[in-house]
Amino acid sequence: MNKTMKAFTFKRYGKHPELGFEKVDYPAINANEILVKIYAVGLNPIDNMIPTGIFKPVLHFKLPGVLGSDLSGVVIAVGKQVTRFRPGDEVFASLFDSGTGSLAEFAAVPESAAALKPANLDFVQAASLPMVSLTAWQALTERGRLRPGQKIFIPAGSGGIGTFAIQLAKQLGATTATTTSTANVGWVSQLGSDKVIDYKQEKFENVLSSYDIVLGTLKGDTIEKSVQILKPGGQIISLVGPLDAAFARDRGVNFFLTFVMKMMSRKITRLTKKRRLTYSFLFVRPEGEQLSQIGKLIEAEQIKPTIDKVFSFAETKKALAWLGQGHAKGKVVVTMQAPSDIKPAAGR
């Protein structure tokens, strides 16, 4: 009889995904994987989007699918080929795009996707980081190649991505601008943004000009309006779509889906080309080596995680609902273990 564990799953795609707790198979690890007892899970907006089916063509889950991507926890076993970790190590990682999730008692994690937890963070703080930190890192350093003295606009400065990306951009020597609500202006300013626009009082496209990069973090017409604030040669790097043909080619989807994605981005591609700008959609990838580099910035206290609310595993549905309202200041985290079991880092 197979050993099982408790996980938070969805049973189908669509309007009625049947979110809830299920008993699923206990993970077996491959030679290049580590088995992690999960202590905390950071939630991301895509966790609410996956059950709708919007990413079904590119993210493949075996149903019932386990939700969640980010995790922190303790290694309890390692595969034969693993060299970077050993049982007892405290780690953090992302399982995004792996076909399974982290809202479970245990997870098999590829060695390449994990990193040692920063020594100055607890498990809750560490779990809040993987997706937002990797997304910001890959957008700003790889895709955007952000340089000292450049100007970057990061909308929604109080959100999970915004709170991290603003801090990273400052560490890279850039000038930053962001938007937030009236109540959060002072709080977001403390993150280090040079220009904080109260979107209830001003329109960013009327205030900003000659920017080098826009990080697309909001759905709607914000990305199209962003064209107005960029200087020739500027970039829009979108995390929320529309999907484009380059993304379709990277994913190796069929001709029909490639055509659909090309049509989805036709308007923004036309707008950017007209102004000598570039547009691209970024899909984050798990990368343990980058998490290690990010961890060094965290340990040096050059960047700090921002936690909004913490929920217990039993409150996962409530946590997802809160995240879905769009009011979180920073990250929403689910604790898998009782608070008394979540101990500070013990060192390696």
Where are the domains positioned within the chain?
Answer: 4-128+307-341, 132-281
pLDDT tens for residues 6-51? 999 999 999 899 999 999 999 999 999 999 999 999 999 999 999 9
Classify domain 4-128+307-341 by CATH architecture: Alpha-Beta Complex (3.90)
Q: Answer whether 4-128+307-341 and 132-281 agree in fold.
A: no
DSSP string, 44-83: -HHHHHGGGTTTTTTS--PSSEEP--EEEEEEEEE-TT--
Q: Cβ distance 63 to 102 under 8 Å?
A: no
Q: Rounded distance, CA 162 to CA 329, Å?
A: 10
pLDDT tens for residues 185-220? 999 899 989 999 999 999 999 999 999 999 988 877
**Pairing between strand 151-154 and 175-180?**
parallel
Confidence category of residue 339, pLDDT binned at 50, 70, 90: very low
The fold of 132-281 is: Rossmann fold (3.40.50)
For residue 48 the two structure tokens come to: 């609410």
pLDDT computed for residue 322 by the predictor? 96
Q: How far is the CA of 247 from the CAs of 12, 55, 272, 275, in angstroms?
A: 25, 13, 17, 22
DSSP string, 198-262: ETTT--HHHH--SEEEEEE---SSHHHHHGGGEEEEEEEEESS----HHHHHHHT--HHHHHHHH
pLDDT computed for residue 244 by the predictor? 79
